[in-house]
A and B are shown apart, each in its own frame.
Chain A
Amino acid sequence: MSHLLEVKDLEVNFALWSGELTAIDGISFSLDRGERLGIVGESGAGKSVTGFAIINLISRPGYISGGKILFEDQELNRLPEDEMRAIRGNRISMIFQDPMMTLNPVLTIATQMTETVLAHEDVSKAEAMDIALEKLKKVHIPSPEKRLQQYPHECSGGMRQRIVIAIALLTNPGLIIADEPTTALDVTIQAEIMDLLLELCESEKMGLILITHDLGVVSQITEKIVVMYAGKIVESGSTTSVVQNPQHPYTQGLIKALPGIIPPGSRLNQIPGMMPNLTEIPRGCAFHPRCTISDTICSTDVPALISKEQQGRLVACHMIK
């Protein structure tokens, strides 16, 4: 059977007055039904652009300049906008860091939810309300009947994010893309939302793409992981194995820099320098100016993302066997 989602050699450019910038430079990955994938990397690595590209929502001056996105056997990047709109918010739902990107502040929860149901299904208003209620229960919102009558501002941040997830569930999507869904929330609430996403993926057989810079969060609920650096995937594999035994020097650096794995008070392991701007991506391996094991080939040749000795793992590094 084919994958739920397959991203092949995806490339996203930004056409700026100063010239063309490549934000996503030929990335490939796939996701099966019910599978959970994490995309991690530092700010500007291209995580969000990847998410938007999948639902064909890159806004100008950005555009998909190469590659394919196959979802449920349809090539999304070739669909006309009206067909794409039927998939977006229906078969694929997106959850953002700020729930207010999805919620309308002047409508009650009930209105927003039933409108979505009515737009997608041929049911009566009363039936739509029942569906809304059922989904609020699914995301464990206490006294859901009361919530339905409220406006978004009457809810806490964590509750709003639960409502957004309930709205995403209304259309029984095959895939949810969550871009930093808990970054603005407190740890205890974050843990609850992650629990919820995990539970829903399992019970509804939904695929999940979780975009975050937080390796701890990703390692809690995803099965596969993709590590991005400067618009490219530098390492991918099963989450547990990548986190426990990272191969790429950048992944290693990210994990070693976390407080909590070395004795308190001691110096943290830092990656020297910082991620380059898109305008000045170094030749060869983009990571080479910050890399401690680089050789001359690293500043001339781009390393391919290929399988190495470590099973089931793809690594883009000249020096890893």
Chain B
Amino acid sequence: MVRKKTTVKAVNAVSFKIMPQETLGVVGESGCGKSTLARAVLGLYPPNSGEIHYQDQRIDRLSPQQMLPFRKKMQMIFQDPYASLNPRMTVNKILAEPVYFHNKSISAQAAKDKVAEVMRQVGVDPAWAGRYPHEFSGGQRQRISIARALMVDPEFVVADEPVSALDVSIQAQILNLMMEAQEKRGLTYMFITHDLSVVKHISTRVAVMYLGTICELAPTQTLYEQPTHPYTRALLSAIPELGVQKPKHLKLKGEVPTPINLPSGCVFHGRCIYANERCTVEIPRLIEQDSGAYVACHGVEEKRI
């Protein structure tokens, strides 16, 4: 089997890899740069510095033409199925388009069969292929965007908040569908969300982001059982739990700075109760811990936390 890996140099200048068939969850609060990271990984945004490799090939400097074979292998699913599906196209057209784009010589019948096959796989009746997106519910539309991503048999799918706009009961349907597609097709996912219980459920490993940097990256169980970075701890303690009356979350101080006006040193220092002099000047690097987690925190490195 080909070992494929994607490498991203985040702001704190540390690389991470996504392993074949794993689900890398990316969590963090709104505006922390999750979507930017996703687009950079797919080569949609050129990174300011750093490199992106896909299956040992560097892809961040490729021309659109050279990028074409990679585009087919890497697909994206967006949060808002309303905005990401062209309202003037029938579902059939939406789904057939990427097929024609990557295979100019495919026959109309073959394309149609492929559309029907994938629609069936995502649980939308192929008889509805002639309908327009607005004729479907939110959950069905998200199924159709998943179908569109699967049309070209990708290896790697980046899903940016794919269930955030959906109700719980529909969310469960879509997450199940994504887990099934992964098993059947051996897909690799990068799954971006702000929902900590969703990410816990489906990820192999989790990266926690704060203001454009990764503060912790760890296998899912390790992260949830022993969160190490002060921000990860605060985040996990804030998850509302069913039937727990009084919230006992860890309080952060200060206010969230804007990404335009990034703090010096550790971007989290203004909100961190453990911050010292060093934290305000020196950017912490991601350092591997005994637990297997990577943590970017001076306090952890100095064993103060």
Contact = CB atoms under 8 A, between A and B. Distances in A.
Contacts of B171: 257, 268
A202 to B, nearest CB: 11
Interface stretch (B65-73, B114-122, B241-249): B241-249
Contact of A188 (B202, B235, B242): B235
A70 interface: no
Contacts of A260: 197, 200-201
Interface residues of A, number: 44
B106 interface: no
Interface in B160-182: 167-173, 175-176, 179
A265 B139 CA distance: 21
A309 interface: no
Interface string A203-247: 000000000011111011100000000000000000010011000
Contacts of B238: 187-188, 190-191
B172 A269 contact: yes
Given A215-B242, A258-B197, A271 B172 contact: yes
A217 B197 contact: no
B234 interface: yes
A259 interface: yes
Contacts of A264: 200-202, 220-221
Nearest to B166: A43
Interface stretch (B79-87, B250-258, B293-301): B250-258
Nearest to B258: A156
A259 B197 contact: yes
A243 B243 contact: yes
B196 interface: yes
A270 B234 CA distance: 30
Given A42-B169, A271-B172, A274-B137, A187 B235 contact: yes
Contacts of A244: 243
A240 B243 contact: yes
Contacts of B103: none
Contacts of B197: 258-260
A60 interface: no
A186 B197 CA distance: 14
Contacts of A257: 168-169, 171-172
B292 interface: no
Contacts of A187: 29, 194, 196, 235, 238-240
A141 to B, nearest CB: 10
Contacts of B170: 274
B201 A243 contact: no
B225 to A, nearest CB: 12
A154 to B, nearest CB: 11
B201 A270 contact: no
A219 B172 contact: no
Given A187-B29, A265-B179, A259 B200 contact: yes
Interface in B216-238: 220-221, 234-235, 237-238
A220 B245 contact: yes
Contact of A194 (B29, B220, B247, B252): B247
Most buried by B among A186, A187, A216, A253: A187
Nearest to A242: B243
Given A43-B167, A186-B194, 6 more contacts: A187-B29, A187-B240, A216-B242, A220-B245, A271-B172, A274-B169
Interface of A: 42-43, 142, 156, 158-159, 186-192, 194-195, 198, 213-217, 219-221, 240, 243-244, 253-255, 257-261, 264-265, 267-271, 274-275
Interface of B: 29-30, 137-139, 167-173, 175-176, 179, 194, 196-198, 200-202, 220-221, 234-235, 237-247, 249, 251-252, 254-256
Closest 9 CB pairs of A and B: A216-B240, A186-B29, A259-B201, A268-B172, A271-B169, A42-B167, A191-B238, A260-B197, A257-B172
14 contacts: A142-B254, A156-B256, A186-B30, A186-B256, A189-B256, A219-B243, A220-B240, A243-B242, A257-B172, A258-B242, A260-B200, A264-B201, A268-B172, A268-B176
